[in-house]
Amino acid sequence: MAVNGEPKDRGHWSGPLPFIMASAGAAIGLGNIWKFPYITGMNGGGAFVLFYLLCIALVGLPLLISEMLMGRKAERDTVGSFLELGHQRAGGKAWAGFGWLAVITCGVLLSFYAVIAGWAMDYVVKSVTGAFWAVPAAEVPALFDALLANPWANVIYAGLFMLLTAGIVVGGVKGGLEKANNILIPTLFILLTGLMIYGLTQKGAGQALAFMFAPDFSKLTGAGMLEALGHAFFSLGLGMGVMIVYGSYLGKGTSLVKAAISIAFLDTLIALMAGVMIFSMVFTYGLEPGAGPGLIFQTLPVMFAGVPGGGILATLFFVLLTFAALTSSISLLECVVAYVVDEDHLSRGKAVAISGAAIFGLGIFSALSFNVLAGVKLLGERNIFDTLDFLVSNLALPLGGLGVAIFTGWVMLVPDVKDEFQDNALERFSRVFWRFCIRFVAPFGIIAVLLFSLGVIKF
């Protein structure tokens, strides 16, 4: 029973598969195709990748189970779920603070996520219209600087992307989220497989595979390890309650353990495939693997501009990036919309219009932070975009994850937790493993990430 208002008909996935697709869609995003390759490049490759996989298994996977478990048990949005499951426990309603944090974090992340996705859309247009070929190769990276300097392009593309996102979310769980993911995820997979096979036929493929999979532990630093853990979080879409909301639309018969393993597997597979594809190109064409955030917007286009068929490759690649961003952005908007629908009892249409407009409004500041508002420096000389990114990725996300870990590991009633695991040997074993990771490993790792982000731990 809901403690705060009547539960309503909130929609349901039509089965386990659409749920897994949609959750994999939330997980697979810019984090996989843009960020994972560039941070792998900056952290020296193999050893970082191996440590990242460990973080996914020991912290990411348990936390993914925790979020889905909370949502499915409570059948509510993030705030409602903490309220419902925590109100008779120590701390009582205060736990709902983490639900609030999740809603706000989703909104803020989406506001600047849309700006990056907007760049991907602009690059689709550039690829189709041949903009990379119209200038000498050496000037291709400067096209990105020109895009950043253009306030209109940033605002308009972010706005278009928000419209696309809102257009899907307004359709509801079955008619919107499920349908979109059922189309976008397989398409994304096909595109990426094609591009990866192309990459593997290039002469730099061997070097790329060695770079990514032959670990050289002398290259793994403490800072790199914490970055891997932070990214495992971000990539799986944890710490912002998205999986609480998606879990809340899931029927009781589905095994959360199996679903979580499938989602983590797909998310990791896509990141590794993107890495293999991108580094094959990077090594074939003598580009710089440690180029940083500009790797796919500045470094890769130089290659696209120089190879036969580069126009097609570039178009496919940036469409892939846009689709990946879209499957994540719908989950972020859904998290905010679920709150407005469940707690404020507004219709879905109104909830989408109001939250979409507010998030876009906030996003304008990020879109302008590279041009008109470039002079505005906030936290530690960061511009608005970087400040929001820092607050979300380095603080809110680990804090949200810590809240979920402590809540499900130490606060929630044990029978409530047990209910969400099935009654067979494998699930019993999984529950023991989950419980150990969520009570001890995850909080310890997350606190380390937080202290590092705050500058308390230095390397």
Residues that bind ligand PHE (CB under 6 A): 26-27, 29-32, 234-235, 237, 240, 242, 328, 331-332
Helix H segments across 14-95?
16-27, 30, 36-42, 46-55, 61-74, 78-86
Give 99 or 237: the residue with its C-beta nearer to ligand PHE.
237
Least distance CB 400 / ligand PHE (angstroms): 9
Give 303 or 325: the residue with its C-beta nearer to ligand PHE.
325
Give 60 or 310: the residue with its C-beta nearer to ligand PHE.
60
C-alpha distances out from residue 117 to 33, 38, 94, 389, Å = 12, 17, 35, 14
Least distance CB 220 / ligand PHE (angstroms): 22
Percentage helix, strand, coil for the chain under 3-state DSSP, each rounded to 5: 80, 0, 20
Q: How far apart (Å, rounded) are the C-alpha atoms in residues 36 and 271?
A: 6
| Exposure on the CB side of residue 299, measured as CA atoms within 13 A | 23
| Exposure on the CB side of residue 308, measured as CA atoms within 13 A | 1
Give 35 or 140: the residue with its C-beta nearer to ligand PHE.
35
- The answer to whether the beta carbons of residues 70 and 83 sit under 8 Å apart is no
- The answer to whether the beta carbons of residues 195 and 356 sit under 8 Å apart is no
User: What is the number of other CB atoms lying within 10 angstroms of the CB of residue 430?
Assistant: 22
Give 164 or 305: the residue with its C-beta nearer to ligand PHE.
164
Amino acid at 332: L
SS3 171: coil
Give 123 or 132: the residue with its C-beta nearer to ligand PHE.
123
Q: How far apart (Å, rounded) are the C-alpha atoms in residues 257 and 68?
A: 10
Least distance CB 236 / ligand PHE (angstroms): 6
Least distance CB 237 / ligand PHE (angstroms): 4
Least distance CB 235 / ligand PHE (angstroms): 4
Least distance CB 97 / ligand PHE (angstroms): 19
Length of the chain: 459
Least distance CB 36 / ligand PHE (angstroms): 8
Give 64 or 212: the residue with its C-beta nearer to ligand PHE.
64
Write out the two tokens for 81: 């779920």
